[in-house]
Chains A and B, each alone.
Chain A
Amino acid sequence: MATTAMTPAASAYRAGLYEWLTTTDHKKIGILYLVNSLIFFFVGGLLALAVRTELAMPGIQFFKEVVYNQLFTMHASFMLFLFVIPILAGFGNYAVPLMIGAPDMAFPRINALSFWMLPLAGILMATGFLTNGGAAAAGWTSYSPLAEKAYSGMGTDLWIVAVILIGTSSILGAINFLVTIFKMRAPGMTMFRMPIMVWTMLVTSVLVLLATPVLASALIMLFIDRNYGGHFFDPATGGNAILWQNVFWFYSHPAVYIMVLPAMGIVSEVLPVFSRKPLFGYKAFVFATAGIGALGFSVWAHHMFTTGSVYLPFFSLMTFLIAIPTGVKMFNWIATLFRGQLTFSTPLIFALGFVSMFLIGGINGAFSAVVPVDFAIHDTYWVVAHLHYVLFGGSVFGVFAGVYYWFPKMTGRMLNEGLGKVQFVLMFVGVNLTFFPMHQLGLVGMPRRIADYSSAAGWNDLNLLATVGSFIIGASMLPFLWNVFISLSSGKPAGDDPWEGNTLEWATSSPPPPYNFDRLPEIRSERPVFDLRHRPRPESADLQLAAEASAAPESAGPAGHH
């Protein structure tokens, strides 16, 4: 008895657009998350190109400082709040119920609500561009007093409301993931048989649940400051600007793990499949993930070293400690690849991009944790280099690994491998051309968030190089879009399990039916589909056992399996 018979439910799908607008199916909601997030990724990317265009040469060429401030603020806000966080939640939405053998999320209608808040919030945030003062321009960190009434207009109010909406969406999503993971696992799917992707979503959801409400309260206090004469954060009226930084980073540091842990989960699914080996050190990886989550709450003040009001040794030490679980993961990934039978398909290539780029982002991050070094490089382009190596070199490569890995499952068709490799090469070259020079720019003192710099500063060549790189990144999206466009209609049919995967989503059809599974394989390890493929006994004996099982369901334990 290796599979379990189920009664297929009646088709739950209605036709066309109406179905997509009203769906409560986690797979369709997951795809909606992905599409919506990618739209904001492209818009945010265009804003980044505008920023890089202005910085290509010294002097103000295209955008005045006022506009420039809006450009980089909205670039970061779109990328963080409307792209990275939601797209990873989208992968979680699509994959988690399938991976644990559940028919859907625990609360399907709340799931739909979580999604539909996002486009609403995105539009709200973007309408800032239409107001008199322009869009939010205080940076995505919205430090006081820059974000107070005196220095910023209605765009900031719209930004605050939008981010609260996005936070609410995240919290509802996190509750949904946690209940789904704790309560909806298929029989046999114990916690330590769950795919790593599910573990990373679990830890991410705990981070969202505990950190995001603090951001909501901070934003509400900022809103009260701005609109009802509150005195929380403005020093001029008796408030405390450092208080804002504390509550903001109490959310936003855990948030950087919210932005990368699920991408680590994707990579940890991809590497074993394309190395033909189990993930090295499964339990160590799980504990490392939990460790990153726990430590993530004790390092927020490392963003505030130069304020002079935080206890430097503690926060520096805790920041270094995070390098340990992260190093464990890096070791696990490399050990998984070691002596594996690698097939260099697009998901693996993007996953390797993640591992190598994230390594750089981790090392320059640990470097920044040294207090005296941080005093020198704080608010310089070094920080911009670091965060982009983690978020673009890390998360975005993870996102594309996930897109290439699960596109066949979502659509039933393969993406084109050749175009995928062209995209990867352009992206990899572009990322390093753009962000590596920023290390040097930071070390020689170029501050972040400036629209102009002196041509005598010696920053011209590296800035031009970074701008060229950014346009290569932009160009890398063209083969991707073309690839999706042609593959949707004429891609190679995928079949149920094109990659010979390990986890349960590969045990159902592509795309899966509304209720996910006609049959579930027996779950005896964290690789149930691998087990199914490499069963020791011939198929006929299995059928015979299945017949016995249906005759006497209680007594038909799989006694012959071990």
Chain B
Amino acid sequence: MTSSTTAMTTEHGAAAHARGGISNPILGMLLFITSEVMFFAGLFAAYFNVRAAGPIWPPLEFADKLHIFPLVGPATVLLILSSFTCQVGVWAIRRNDRRGLTRAIAITVILGATFLVMQAIDYTSLYAEGLRLDAGPFGSTYYTLTGFHGAHVLGGVIMLSVVLYRSLSGQFSAAHHDMVEATSMYWHFVDVVWIALFSILYIL
């Protein structure tokens, strides 16, 4: 007989369903990230469409504005760095190192929050320079793309804070840390979106 029919003799129940492979919460998070990719794809599509329609990009009146803010480079470095610290936390809890997890996630939360503060400063100075949400297609796309990314960073910082709290109260172990893995995946995704955004807004 095949193994599938032999499996009929096992006890039926929730445990019987959790057969090897990826766990339910992590598969759920991967699917959620897939939908998030499509969400940003819609925004990016709008950006490229508007950009292709404009004769000069960025428009002349804003051409030099984006570069007056010197912190966007460091902010990008910090966010990329936070992906590494987050992953260090995941590796730590896989070794059952709770202290290492707590330390790494705490650093990640601080880096993420710093990124948000820097973005707020960036917004303030750009706003003062006249680059606003209603300042033509450039302003609309710039704030919508970076704003929704910022909202995702905020969501990630909140999730990481919950991970930190649960880590401090000792709820994770090498066997039980689905939330750490899932949050880390989400955080990497947010990071990758920023790399794409930074490339199209500041480099290309």
Contacts and interface: CB of A to CB of B under 8 A. Distances in A.
B197 to A, nearest CB: 14
A237 B38 CA distance: 27
A257 to B, nearest CB: 16
A214 B42 contact: yes
A6 B35 contact: no
Contacts of A228: 133-134
Contact of B42 (A213, A229, A520, A524): A213
B61 interface: no
B31 A187 contact: no
Nearest to B1: A557
Interface stretch (A135-143, A178-186, A419-427): A178-186
Given A178-B31, A209-B34, A217-B46, A4 B8 contact: yes
B contact patch SS? helix
A217 B136 contact: no
A208 to B, nearest CB: 8
Contact of B8 (A107, A187, A212, A239): A187
A549 interface: yes
Interface stretch (A240-248, A351-359, A445-453): A240-248
Interface stretch (B12-20, B71-79, B97-105): B12-20
A209 B31 contact: yes
A466 B70 CA distance: 67
A232 B46 contact: yes
A231 B36 contact: no
B137 A220 contact: no
Given A224-B140, A229-B134, A243-B46, A522 B8 contact: yes
Given A107-B28, A212-B35, A232 B5 contact: no
B204 interface: no
B38 A210 contact: yes
Nearest to B14: A103
Interface residues of B, number: 47
A238 B49 CA distance: 12
Given A4-B12, A522-B8, A179 B27 contact: yes
Contacts of B8: 1, 4, 187-188, 522-523, 558
B169 interface: no
Interface in A251-284: none
Contacts of A5: 11-12
A556 interface: yes
Contact of B9 (A101, A523, A556): A556
B42 A224 contact: no
B48 to A, nearest CB: 10
Interface residues of A, number: 64
B60 interface: no
A307 interface: no
A522 B5 contact: yes
Contacts of A210: 34-35, 38
A240 B1 contact: no
B53 A240 contact: yes
B50 interface: yes
B120 interface: no
A430 B37 CA distance: 44
A76 interface: no
A248 to B, nearest CB: 10
Given A213-B39, A243-B46, A7 B4 contact: no
A218 interface: yes
6 contacts: A4-B10, A7-B13, A175-B35, A218-B42, A237-B136, A243-B49
Given A179-B31, A215-B42, 20 more contacts: A175-B32, A183-B17, A183-B27, A186-B17, A187-B7, A212-B38, A213-B42, A216-B42, A217-B42, A218-B46, A220-B144, A221-B46, A225-B140, A228-B134, A229-B140, A230-B140, A231-B137, A231-B140, A557-B1, A558-B8
Interface of A: 1, 4-7, 101-103, 106-107, 171, 174-176, 178-179, 182-188, 190, 209-218, 220-221, 224-225, 228-232, 237-240, 243, 246-247, 250, 517, 520, 522-524, 549, 553-554, 556-559, 561
The 8 closest A-B pairs by CB, nearest first: A229-B134, A217-B42, A213-B39, A187-B7, A213-B38, A214-B42, A230-B140, A175-B31
